[in-house]
Amino acid sequence: MTAVSKDLIAAAQAGDQRALEAVLIGIQDRMYQLSMRFLANPDDALEATQEILILILTKLSTFRGESAFTTWAYRVASNHLLSAKKLRERDPALTFEAFRIDLESGLVAEPPQSPDDVVMLNELRVSCTMAMLLCLDFNHRIAYVLGDILEFDHAEAAEILELTPANFRKRLSRARQEVIAFTSASCGVVSDKAKCSCHRRLPAAMKCGRVKLDTPFHGSAGAEQYDRVVARIEGLVGDLKTLKLQQSVPRHRFPDGLLSKITSIVTLPN
């Protein structure tokens, strides 16, 4: 990802349009990745990222360099994801128990095989892995995404969320325990004792439209291959299995062409 230098930020704050665009280009993919892992829905994540970039653009004059620019940008993004009313209204309010019941419905004892299964299994793996985090409440979800998925240093993550390091570690620990407990009991990629497995779940997921061959919902076609991910997870022990599952999701990129639309309709404050 493009680095954002102090000189570039200063030029953008002074009203240089090209510098402004370069600053936003340097962070757009990171903001989209954060939104995708927090919301799990590409349409919602795209809309949220555009709003975040507009907020960063309009608030840029307030950045004083007291923290790293990326830390400041992640704080703007996290505050938006946590506080935007429409995001809270759209949140499915899943629970791990409801998700477990859903996963275990429609399992096939001997699933038919298709040449397309290699793509569809990956799509199912990625979509399920991302949806799993929707079972966490907003505060624990953002802590888990920053701490375990994006692997922020705990001190920086605490600064982003405006928490003490101790409080951040407490939130992350609770979120981690819940995700680990669920995957250890219910995810066939992590545990061979789980009822659900991607192969057994795939026919039902395709039938109800959760995964589609012609329109991969989560861009999993560019992800690491299903069998390769499973093999790597099998080679790990304990809690590392869950961590590797959550980290084995594509690094989504903000779509080309949208940034120019954002900068064209928003005037940089003086």
Q: Mapped to the 3 state alphabet, what secondary structure does 180-204 carry? A: HHHHHHHCCCCCCCCCCCHHHHHHH
**Does residue 72 sit within a domain?**
yes
Structural domain that includes position 38: 1-91
Q: Looking at residue 259, what is its pLDDT?
A: 78
- Same domain? For 111 and 128 the reply is yes
Q: What is the pLDDT of residue 270?
A: 47
Task: Cite the beta strand spans of the chain per DSSP E.
Answer: none
My answer on whether 30 and 99 are in the same domain is no
Q: What is the pTM of this model?
A: 0.91
Considering the domain boundaries, does residue 146 fall inside one?
yes
**DSSP label of 267:** P
Sign of the alpha-carbon torsion through 220, 217, 51, 165: negative
Parts of the chain with a pLDDT under 50: 268-270
User: What does the alpha-carbon distance between residue 73 and residue 53 come to, in Å, rounded to a whole number?
Assistant: 9
Identify the pLDDT of residue 226. Answer: 87
Pair 79, 118 in one domain: no
Residue where a domain terminates, one of 91, 114, 131: 91
User: Among residues 91, 120, 142, which one ends one of the domains?
Assistant: 91
Instruction: Please check whether residues 116 and 76 belong to one and the same domain.
Output: no
- From 57, 91, 125, the end of a domain falls on 91
Q: How far apart are CA 92 and CA 41, in angstroms?
A: 11
pLDDT of residue 107: 94
pLDDT at 265: 62
pLDDT of residue 131: 94
